[in-house]
Amino acid sequence: MRLADKVALITGAASGIGKETASLFAQEGAKIVAVDLNDYDGEKTVSEVNSAGGDAIYVNANVSKSSDCEHMVKAAEEKYGKLNVMFNNAGIMDSRDDNAQVTEEDVWDLTMAINLKGVFLGCKFGIPAMQRSGGGSIINTASFVGIMGAATPQVAYTASKGGVISLTRELAVIHARENIRVNALCPGPLRTELLMKFLDTEAKKQRRLVHIPMGRFGEAKEMAKAALFLASDESSYTTGAEFVVDGGITSAYVTPE
């Protein structure tokens, strides 16, 4: 098992990438701390993991709040004695997010609070726990748009993910000699509820698909497999990376006329 004897904390574990990752990590031997604000679906994730023979607990936390992030890390250490893997995956994509003229300040603030501040706070409290454990792997969910920009305007989301990439790079350099690796997972467009709610018309979907060489949206399960590589010792010489899993979109990206 690739994560035997590891303890993994996953935010945004109630659905999408987080849910699939919790299941996969558990299959690979990790003990799971599943974190979300959606108690019903978060508890469902944990129930499914445990029913399949895994070991998981659920923790309610708003990642934009310092006290909640401190609590989720404390819960991991109290239950399992350590923290080895932290997947800062929770995020939002507000349907009101648009160009700079249209996007309201409250949309910008909320997006930054969850997508970027939430990653910062996860690292703020997760890194000391990993120092106590002798090292570990931090995976921060960014996006290909943080590298390339987006064809469909979503300035708050794009800026937040660019911030995640920059934060990841700096933390990777700071903590490299402490056996703490920090990498940014950069998915391409995925067939998840989060993106499908944003791409709410066929025209919007096609505007994304036309740029993807593989001609399809990615799946959450594919991102979970990428996260598994970054969490495992197989990526022991990988830190500060933009781990792009995007169906080729960043290699073929062109701005539409």
pLDDT digit string (tens) for 96-107?
999 999 999 999
Do 208 and 189 meet the contact criterion of CB atoms below 8 Å apart? yes
How many whole angstroms separate alpha carbon 20 and alpha carbon 243? Answer: 18
The answer to whether residue 154 scores a pLDDT higher than 90 is: yes
| In-domain check, residue 1 | no
64: CATH: 3.40.50.720
**Cβ contacts of 195 within 8 Å, gap of 6 or more:** 93, 189, 217
Catalytic residue (one of 40, 58, 80, 157): 157
Q: Examine residue 2 and state whether it is found in any structural domain, yes or no.
A: no
Residue 256's pLDDT band (cuts 50, 70, 90): very low
* Active-site annotation holds for 58: no
**Enclosing domain of residue 48:** 7-252
How confident is the model over 103-119, as a mean pLDDT? 98
CA dist 25 → 34, 62, 104, 121 (Å): 11, 22, 38, 23
pLDDT interval class at 203 (50, 70, 90): confident
| 3-class secondary structure, 245 | strand
Asked if residue 216 belongs to a domain, the reply is yes
Asked, for residue 135, whether it belongs to a domain, the answer is yes
List, in sequence order, the alpha helices (H) in 52-115: 66-80, 105-112
Residue 126 lies in a domain: yes
Quick one: which of 166, 197, 194 has its CA closest to 182?
Answer: 166
Domain assignment present for residue 257? The answer is: no
| Eight-state DSSP code of residue 139 | E
Position 192 in a domain = yes
Query: φ and ψ at 96, to 5 degrees?
Result: -85, -10
Task: Supply the pLDDT for residue 257.
Answer: 45
* Cα 16 from Cα 252, distance rounded (Å): 26
Q: Is 212's pLDDT higher than 70?
A: yes
**Mean pLDDT confidence for 214-223:** 93
Position 204 confidence tier, pLDDT thresholds 50, 70, 90: confident
Instruction: State whether the Cα torsion 185-161-127-8 is positive or negative.
Output: negative
Whole-number average pLDDT of the chain: 94
| Domain-located, residue 163 | yes
CA distance 27 to 224: 12
Count of structural domains within the chain: 1
pLDDT at 151: 76
In this prediction, residue 229 carries a pLDDT of: 98
